[in-house]
Structure formats: structure tokens, C-alpha cells
Amino acid sequence: MTQFNRQTFQLSDVAKNSPENAWWSDAVVYQIYPRSFQDSNGDGIGDLRGITSRLSYLAELGVDVVWLSPVYQSPQDDNGYDISNYQDIDPMFGTLADMDELLAKAHELGIKVIMDLVVNHTSDEHAWFKASRASKTSDHADWYIWEDPKTGFTGGEKGAEPNNWGSYFGGSAWQWVPERGQYYFHQFSRKQPDLNWENPDMRRAVFSMMNWWMDRGIDGFRMDVISLISKLHDENGKLRGVNGSLLPEEPAGPDGFSSPSPDCSDGPRLDEFLSEMRCEVFAGREGFLTVGEAPGISGERAEHITNPKNGELDMLFLFEHVDVNSDGPAGKWGRGISHFAETKPSFAKYEQIVKDGGWTSLFVSNHDQPRSLSRWGDTSTEELRVRSAKALALTLHMHKGTPYIYQGEELGMTNADYTRLDQYQDLETLNLYKQITEAGIMTPEEMMAGIKRVSRDNARTPMQWDDSKYAGFESVDAVTAPWLEVNANKATINAQAQMADDNSVFAFYKKLIELRHTNATVALGDWNALETTNENVYAFTRTFHSELGEEKLLVIANLISEESEMDDSISAALAELGRSIEQNDVLISNEDVEALKKQLESGVLKPWTAVVVKVK
């Protein structure tokens, strides 16, 4: 078990079986997208040795856990989320020996390492799938989801697909295999066939693989789209709309498909599968972390899954807040400008999960989302970029839960700012551009604007370590350029400059992480929202009771590039202090105390002012 280089909080016996007593209750997780973090050999792709060389940076930042996006063997159709061998490292990232070295160095620094677990699907080049597609009678025949062509149609022709489900990456969710004479189901790329979790032999193979990695020394898993592993069937075991099913097809949308999500998200056996995993892999182990990516999971279900008494997962990633303004036929691609304050109702639901006995993950960025600063902050000037980056970070990290930082977020990195389609490599982006424009849902110009706002490649540009030619991602004399173009703003946004600046975004993140480690109210205090009349101001309290008494923190953030008036609820909360604020009352802020005094006394907050004040 990896030990942190810090003390955790000691709680009363009353809370012994709650998430608050778990080692991760006051921890911060840092996500690494390996191909974009650090290249050690000049081939333009980040690798394990590169990550190892930068672990001291993460130790300086103060994070407790590193989550690695997939580094397993893969054809890289979906940048490693299509795994062809779970028990080896893809040569582009290194070797198992490199992985062992990374684990040893991280553990030496007191940093835990969790790996991405992708077991809703595999690559179509995985040995399991090759055996499954070869014969209907092989030992692996039903390790995947196979269906016959629709009655009256010939397999492979248009309309013969078993039902009208569409893939999230574009096109049909069914792929014809002539040698087997059936279609297989894939919610994502056609090279990512869904595993059949109804098969107990398949589940045992997955659990065996997970145990192999845990025994090797990793500290847990982040589980990719784990909420999709159980599918809804009718009483005869048939999927919706397939031959003989009692469940009728849903109407198709303008692209000609219906979504599989209602039948594949939070399916009827999800709890059973997760409980079985907990018993078969994690029983008897200590110091691990299990976090599930959970599209389609409600707040109530999240509380059940993450409540320790149910023995499933430690925490989940929920997506309501990042899906704001994604309604409409074009989905996220048609999403307009929004303000972070619009996410307040979503975060209130997440905090209810914690209040009810579960736990929650706190995030605004990851490898599948655009840069949060470009979406919700203001990058029009350097001053506003820094102020808004700090305000967004403070707001997120002052919630109760486990914060996740995506690489470069701690520097205030921004969207890629590409102007041409050929600059993007993301499979989802390229496929959906074709499907949405051909269906007439958006014009090419409208779709390009959407891609610039929300493409996954926005978060996948190389990490900006310095202002050199390739931003320090690889050496300046490297023969091969980085796999994805470096953001042009590397000269002003890079780690080297910020680590030397006490007022930088990096320095601010360090303070936020240290507060979670040292202040019990930040880590474990009860969360309560203030009902503010100004929708652009986000205010809430954190309260912690101990033998020493009660500490109460007031969090105030103006999340817009305009002045905002405070209302009576904030003034009343500030009045608990009984006097004007002093230096020692401010736990953290992106504003100096004298400026804060003027703003709080006048009741008018400057653009992007954010502060945590001790009021009791």
C-alpha cells in the first residue's frame, strides 16, 4: 500500500464506515493522457519514461494519485481505448519494465497510480474477439454481442442491421461479419465491439486480468463507461428491436438512428456486476481506488453505487454539468456559449450524493472534454485568463468530494485553436463531421465552429512545459513533430514560467491542494448552497464540527467577466464574522485583501473575483 507523505484527518467512531474515512476523502487526482504528456524518445508520442521523468513535477504540485489513460497494446483506433491486449504495454508507450519503473518512482514519491480499465468493449483485434468472430461454436462465441440480420434482409445490405441503434461515433452500431453470418454490436467505433457481460466466463477473464495488474502494484482503476456494461433485454433475453424482441424500436432521429443509451446505461444487472467485481478483485486489499465513468447514471443511483455499504465503486464521474446546453439535434456540436454558474444545479445534486452517504468526483476537464477554461472562463486577455482560471479552480475545489485535475488545467491551458479540419485527429470529431453535415443538421461552417468549441482534441494537445519549439513535450531537435500540433500560446502558458511565479495559476492550484490536505473543513465539511438572486455569483458554505468547535467557510465566486452584485444571503453570511475581513480571515483568493474589502463592503464583485472566507 502506497503511503502518502502527509497526515490524514482522524474522525470520530461515528464516521468509521463512511467515505469520509477513506484515504481518498482528502486526496486530489491528476489525469495524464500519456501520448500528450512527455515524449522521451523523439518519436512525437508521449510515453511511460516521459511520465516518469515528470513525476517530480506532480509531487511539487502536491497531487496524491495519477490516473493514466490507456497504455495497453492497441491498434489506436480510438487512441488506446480500443485494447487488443490487456496484459502488455503498447510499444509506442514503452514496456512492462517501464511501467514497473514508473510505479516504483511514483510510490517512492508517495503518489498512487491508477490505470484506465476499458471493459465495456475491446479492440476487434483482441484475441477474444478474433476467436468469437471465427465461429458460433468457439469457447468465445458469446463473449460479445451478436445478432442475426433483420428478418427479410440479407446480411450486409442497408436495412439488415438487427435494429436502428446508432453508434456514438457515427453510423450504425452494428457491424456485419460475413464469416460468422451475424452482426456484432458496438456503441463506439466499429473496431470497439461490446463485450457480453451476461457471460460468466468473460467476466472471470476480466477479473483475472484486473487481479494481475493489482498484484503488479497498481493502486486501482478508473473504469471507462462502466455504466454501459449491462444491457436491457426483454423477458426472453432479446435486445430492443431485434428479431422476435418484445421491445419495439424507438423512432429514428434525423441522422437515421436511435440511441442505444436508454437500454445500455445503468442496465438491470449493473449492481450485480459491480458487486461481483468488488468481491473477485478488491476483497482483502487496502489502499486502492475505484472510480467509474458513468454516463446515464442519476444522482440517486450514484449514491447507491458509491455508498460503501453496497460494495460497488468508490466514486463516479457524472456528466450533467458538462452536458449543459447540449440539447438539440446536433448535440454538443451545436452547444453555444454558457456560463459556469449554469452548472450550479448539477453540483447541488452531486453534493446531495455525498450528504446521502455516497461520494462524488469533482471535475471540469478530461481527455473527452474541451478545455474548461475555454468553455467557461475568459481567455480574451492574459489578466482575465489567469483570474478566471483561478476562480473556476477555487469554485470546484471548495466542493466536498475528490477533485480531479486534467493535465495542463493547473496551468490554465486553453483549446487548440485549430482552423482546419485536417488539423484534428479525433475519431469522434471526424466521423461526426461527416454524418452531421451529410444529414443537413449543420452546415460545414457551423460544424467547424462546433468542433473548435468542443472537439476532444482541444484537450489532447501536447503538455506545455516551456516556450521552446515543441513546448518541452520533446526536444527541440527531435526529427518527428508531436503527433498533434502544439498550441501556439505555449510562449505565455507553460509550466517553466509558472513554477517560478508565486501568483501563477500553478501556484494557486498548489494552494488549493494543500488546503484539502491540511484543512478538515475543505476536505470534509458539510456543503450548503446559498440561494443567490444573481445567477452569475456562486456562493456556498462548508461547515465542520470537531472537538475544537465549529469552523465555517464562506465561498464566493463571480463567474463572469462583468461586475456582479452580491445579494442579502451573502451579506448575511459575511455578517457572521462580526467585523470587516482581515488577512487571517481569507483562506484563499485570487484577489488581494484590500481589494476584497472594498468589494465586499460595497456589495459589488469585480469580474472573476473568488474568495474563501472563514466566518466562524
Active-site positions?
224, 293
Helix (H) or strand (E) holding 99: helix 96-108
DSSP of 269-312, one letter per residue? THHHHHHHHIIIIITT--S-EEEEE-TT--HHHHHHHH-GGG-S
Q: Name residue 146's beta-bridge partners.
A: 184
Residue 66: which of 113, 1, 117 has the closest Cα? Answer: 113
What is the CA angle 387-403-39, rounded to 5? 80
Using DSSP's 3-state secondary structure scheme, residue 333 falls into helix
Using the structure block, give the residue that is written with the C-alpha cell 463571480.
Answer: 558
Which 8-state DSSP code applies to residue 252? P
β-pair type (220-223, 289-293):
parallel
Number of neighbours of residue 562 by Cβ within 10 angstroms: 10
Using DSSP's 3-state secondary structure scheme, residue 209 falls into helix
Which 8-state DSSP code applies to residue 536? T
What is the CA angle 412-415-418, rounded to 5? 145
Share in percent of the chain as helix, strand, coil (round to 5): 35, 15, 50
Residue 361: which of 411, 311, 409, 289 has the closest Cα? Answer: 289
Q: What is the 3-state secondary structure (H, E, C) of 22-51?
A: CHHHHCCEEEECHHHCCCCCCCCCCCHHHH
- What does the chain come to in residues? 616
User: Cα separation of 287 and 314, whole Å?
Assistant: 12
User: Cα separation of 323 and 342, whole Å?
Assistant: 11
Which 8-state DSSP code applies to residue 317? E
DSSP of 374-422, one letter per residue? HHHS--SSHHHHHHHHHHHHHHHHTSSSEEEEETTGGGT-------SGG
Half-sphere CA count of 561, side-chain side, radius 13 A:
15
The CA dihedral of 361, 367, 369, 373, to the nearest 10 degrees, is 90
Phi, psi of 593 (to 5 degrees): -65, -40
Q: Which three cell numbers stand for residue 418?
A: 485549430
User: Cα separation of 130 and 149, whole Å?
Assistant: 20
Number of neighbours of residue 152 by Cβ within 10 angstroms: 8
